[in-house]
């Protein structure tokens, strides 16, 4: 009985510590753009500042940076990738707001 209680307590402590130590967000991610400055995506501004849930983008729009398919600005204007939200209605439009994502170093 003591061993069972110990194992349950240990499992609870491990589970609790994973929640406490887990970081929401993921930092800034840089996407190569080619001809212009790279696009910088900020998890903090989307998750902490705006309050989006991780599931609003993962796994529908993005899985991971490595598995994400590249999207052109033309595709984004059609609602692909970042353009799903950045359409001028839900968030600033990808058209004409280049410096919001393509920031100087």
Instruction: Check pLDDT > 50 for residue 3.
Output: yes
User: Domain map of the chain by residue range?
Assistant: 27-101
Beta bridge partners of 62: 58
Distance in angstroms (rounded) separating the CA atoms of residues 93 and 52? 18
CATH 3.90.10.10 fits 27-101, yes or no: yes
Cα dihedral 90/60/38/73 (nearest 10) = -60
Per-residue pLDDT reduced to its tens digit, 41-98: 888 888 888 888 888 888 777 766 666 677 889 989 999 889 999 999 999 999 999 9
- Helical spans, DSSP H, in the chain: 2-21, 43, 73-77, 98-101
- Neighbour-count burial for 23-44, b at 16+ CB within 10 Å, e otherwise: eeebeeeebeeeeeeebebbbe
């Amino acid at each position: 009985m003591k061993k069972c209680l110990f194992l349950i307590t240990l499992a609870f402590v491990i589970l609790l510590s994973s929640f406490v130590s887990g970081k929401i967000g993921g930092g800034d991610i840089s996407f190569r753009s080619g001809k212009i400055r790279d696009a910088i995506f900020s998890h903090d501004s989307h998750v902490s500042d705006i309050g989006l849930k991780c599931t609003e983008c993962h796994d529908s729009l993005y899985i991971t940076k490595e598995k994400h398919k590249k999207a052109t600005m033309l595709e984004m204007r059609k609602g692909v990738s970042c353009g799903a939200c950045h359409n001028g209605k839900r968030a600033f439009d990808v058209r004409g707001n280049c410096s919001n994502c393509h920031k100087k170093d």
